[in-house]
Structure 1
């Protein structure tokens, strides 16, 4: 196969035009092109009146070697890489050392799937419920303010990514095509095949639910075992003969003890009690930077027109997104995060008396508002000194203040952009109707955000308006508080992916501080499963890049 990149065609090109363009670009006869597959399709919208689709194609040719020689030195023509995933090994028959995986989010799910595919019969422990029961509890919270601390946006089968836009793209380097393996597994589980080739793939909440169920059935068919309602309250750790700390299993809230010398820690960024347990048990944990802010909403139609001009509404382009960054005079950086086109702002609390926002979209992205988090980066040194868990304490403080500002009933405090920029509390809202459920209370963001964050966001909004006209419109709605952008801690690991000071413990994914989003967490789960397999099978198995 030959790979051809950066092939550009007009947005409204016909289907035969793609083949014709590939033939012309390579200078071959049409009969010499035996097969054409789209590996990636993106778009270039810098010129709104002449938006182009940008293709990467894998082509089967009659005289491939001749064509490659003729285009030697052309960086857009080369041999297609082999993206086939190959596991690092397989458990021998009767292998009895079953690994434990704590957490059934994207990281834990893919780690468990890969370990099951390699024959290790893993046990996955999830503190929450199966995904459909969890969905009922979550919608009950949104509609009736009835919070279930173990079954909500943060906890339960599928992890926090289940109630999101379902974005499947990231900035991670992936030379060994682990990301491709993730996407292929998702397609097997029911995701649309387009996620394999569109430049910004997404799935949406409802499709994620059915995919998670399908993957559970696959894992169980391969000998894996799920245990729901299984909150881990302690790790069993002893001293090995060589003097090293060695994990020996996990204790659950119901008193059950499971023995294992290989434990994957794939908890999400909201597993605060787990982080507290890790610190008590002497596992090396450190504070890490994260970001805080609010959700902002605008009409999706406005965003589409700003980004795509006359092509707004084109089905191939879909609902437009954006990515904005501003470096402030006070040294802070403000940026958009987790942008959800055609979606809604959702209640994402996991602890009583605390309020958290997040965003989600369905696959169609067809609701009236666009939303994203507008957040300010904060650091342990500058903003929350005092130990590994100081970031958690700050998150709780902000969430409690937002809860009070919203009225103490899980309604979120909201302020219009115009009122925020003018420094006055909102008493009413405008044309942009907030999507947050259970509801919003007009308020002032200053009631719960730190002064430095307020000043930074006030400076950033007009700058964002210069990049995306209408961003600082007076009736845009800002809802808070957004605190769960990433984990406030990192459970440090070495090159072998094991804890720095506790052998057999494999911290992984977003909660451990090594991922941000569904795809990067899933890839980290696969790489961690490979590390577990190498450890279980012995040093004869070659290591891959970490």
Structure 2
């Protein structure tokens, strides 16, 4: 097959336009075109009065070799690459030991799935509950302020990505096309087929819940075993610092030789336990700031103009970056079109915000994190866990400013820019539950964060009209943008100083979002399988 890229057509093109574009591009007759499939569809909305759809197409033609020779200098006409997933190993019939996956977010889920599909019958340890029980606990927190520290937005089957927009795109390099495997498995589990071809695929929370359950059932059918509400408390290491087993909550012990550590970015107690045992950990940069809310209709109009509401375009998003005069960088993160701001605390006495959307993206508001990049060298020097303490201190300030009842502190954009506390809500109604307390957000973050965001919001206004609108809303505090630590690993994906320990995913510092975490889970599962086969 041939792959054609950069085929541009008007937003309102008719059903025959793609076929005509192929024939015109290759200068062939209709009889020479046997079939075509859409590999990718994106759009260019820089001129919102003339939005163009951009297609990547896989086609079958009668004289492929001649066409390739004719277009040898055209980078937009190439052979379709083989993107099918190929397993690197097949487990023996008898296993001397079973690999263990700790954590059941996207990374752990895909690590377990790939190992199961290769016949390794993994054991999966998850400190939280099954996804439906976890959902009940999370909604209970939002409605009744009853926080379960082991079952919430951060902990439980599906990981933090379950309560998000369900975005499935990233800037991660994926030369082996593992991302296609992630998408295929999601579709097999019930995701909309369109995620295979739209340029910015997303799923949404409610669909993710069902999909996670189906993937768990497949892993079990392939011999996998799940242990929920179980926490790893300590590694069992021999004198050579090799994994021998895991000490689990409740006084239980699990012998093992390969452990994939996919614990997510909020497992602070586990980070501490690992560090105290001597696992090599480094502090890494992350970001802090607020959630910002606008009416989604305003974002749609700003981005799409008269084309706002077109079903192909859906709810508009944005991606913004501003480099401040003080050297800081402010950027939008985890933008949730037509979504809600959610309570994402995992520890008592602390307030954390995040964003979530359903597949429809039909809620009234758009929200995203507006955050400032910070570094260990400049902002939290000391031991590798200093970033965790900074996160906690900001979350405690937010808890106090919110009224110590898990309400979040909030402020109108206009008041924030003017440096005065807010007293009443404007046109943008807050979506955060349990609720908000209006006040002065400069009191819950460092001064450099306040100054940087005050400089950035007017700059973002120049890119998205209405972004600095006075009655837009800021809600704090956003601290869990990424892991504050990196558990260093070598070229074989093992810890640099603990043999048999495979740090993986967002919590270990190697992913950022559902898609990249799933990809990392596949990579690490392959490394475990290859190591097992090389020693047996």
**TM-score normalised by the chain length of structure 2:** 0.99
Greater shift in the superposed pair: 354-363 or 85-94: 85-94
After superposition, residues 86-101 of structure 1 pair within 5 angstroms as 86-101=86-101
Show the 5 A alignment for 1:48-63.
48-63=48-63
Equivalent in the alignment of 1:210 = 210
Which stretch shows the higher mean deviation, 510-519 or 93-102? Answer: 93-102
Aligned to 1:544: none
Alignment of 1:408 with 2:423, yes or no, is no
What is the alpha-carbon distance in structure 1 between the residues aligned to residue 360 and residue 284 of structure 2? 35
2:232 alignment partner in structure 1: 232
Equivalent residue of 1:109, what SS?
Answer: helix
Deviations 1:276-319 (A, max 9, x none): 00011100011100000000000000000000011000000000
Q: Distance in 1 between matches of 2:327 and 2:72?
A: 47
Q: Post-superposition shift, 1:96?
A: 2.8
Q: Deviations over 1:247-283 (max 9, x none)?
A: 1121111111001110000001000000000011100
Question: 2:270 aligned to 264, 267, 274, which one?
Answer: 274
* Counterpart residue number, 2:370: 374
* Mapped partners of 1:435, 1:400: distance in 2: 21
Deviations 1:178-201 (A, max 9, x none): 000110010000001111110000
1:470 match: 466
Q: Which residue of 1 is the match for residue 154 of structure 2?
A: 154
Q: Hey, what does 2:127 align to over in structure 1?
A: 127
Shift of 1:539: 7.2
Segments of 4+ moved more than 2 angstroms: none
Q: Deviations over 1:45-76 (max 9, x none)?
A: 11111101000000011111111111111100
Q: What are the residue-to-residue correspondences of 1:328-367 with 2, within 5 Å?
A: 328-367=324-363
Deviations, residues 149-188 of structure 1 (Å, cap 9, x unaligned): 0000000000000000000000011111000011001000
Match of residue 70 from structure 1: 70
Q: After superposition, give the CA deviation of every residue in 1:199-224 in whole Å (9 maximum; x if it has no partner).
A: 00000000000000000000000001
Q: Look up the match of 1:444.
A: 440
Counterpart mapping for 1:246-285 below 5 A? 246-285=242-281
Hey, what does 1:492 align to over in structure 2?
Answer: 488
TM-score by length of 1: 0.97
Question: Does residue 507 of structure 1 match 2:503?
Answer: yes
Kindly tell me the number of residue pairs found equivalent between the two proteins: 536
Quote the residue 1:325 is aligned against. Answer: 321
Residues 424-435 of structure 1 mapped to structure 2, 5 A cutoff = 424-435=420-431
Q: How many Å apart are 1:245 and its aligned residue?
A: 1.2
Provide the rounded CA distance (Å) in 2 between the counterparts of 1:429 and 1:530: 52
Inter-partner Cα distance in structure 1 for 2:331 and 2:95:
49
| CA distance, structure 2, for counterparts of residue 501 and residue 393 of structure 1 | 25
1:296 correspondence with 2:283:
no
Partners of 1:133 and 1:42 in 2: how far apart? 37
Q: Structure 2 unaligned segments of length 5 or more: list them.
A: none
Local SS of the residue matching 1:363: coil
Structure 1, 148-157 or 94-103: larger mean CA deviation: 94-103
Write out aligned runs for 1:141-220 (5 A). 141-220=141-220
In structure 2, the partner of 1:316 is 312
Distance 1:327 1:56 in 2: 33
Query: Residue 314 of structure 1: SS of its match in structure 2?
Result: coil
- Which residue of structure 1 lines up, in the alignment, with residue 24 of structure 2? 24
Q: Provide the C-alpha distance between the structure 2 equivalents of 1:458 and 1:46, rounded to a whole number of angstroms.
A: 26
Q: CA separation in 1, counterparts of 2:513 and 2:15?
A: 34
Measure, in 1, the Cα distance between the counterparts of 2:33 and 2:190. Answer: 31
Give the C-alpha shift of residue 32 in structure 1: 1.2
In structure 1, distance between residues paired with 2:230 and 2:32: 59
Q: Give me the whole-angstrom Cα distance separating, in 2, the residues matched to 1:444 and 1:235.
A: 44
Q: What's the counterpart of residue 457 of structure 1? A: 453
Counterpart secondary structure, 2:46: coil
Task: Find the counterpart in structure 1 of residue 137 from structure 2.
Answer: 137
Q: CA deviation at 1:238?
A: 1.1
Within 1, Cα distance between the matches of 2:10 and 2:288?
40
Within 2, Cα distance between the matches of 1:202 and 1:539? 40
Find the partner of 1:523 among 519, 522, 528.
519
- Aligned counterpart, 1:543: none
1:395 alignment partner, SS class: helix
Whole-angstrom CA distance in 2 between matches of 1:333 and 1:84: 39
Structure 2 equivalent of residue 114 of structure 1: 114
Residue 534 of structure 1 is matched in structure 2 by 530
Structure 1 stretches lacking a partner, 5+ long: 541-546
Question: Cα distance 1:393–1:91, how it changes in 2: closer, same or farther (>3 A)?
Answer: same
Query: RMSD of the TM alignment (CA)?
Result: 0.8
Q: CA deviation at 1:438?
A: 0.6
CA apart distance, 1:425 = 0.7
**Which one is further off, 93-102 or 132-141?**
93-102
Alpha-carbon separation, structure 2, partners of 1:539 and 1:35: 47
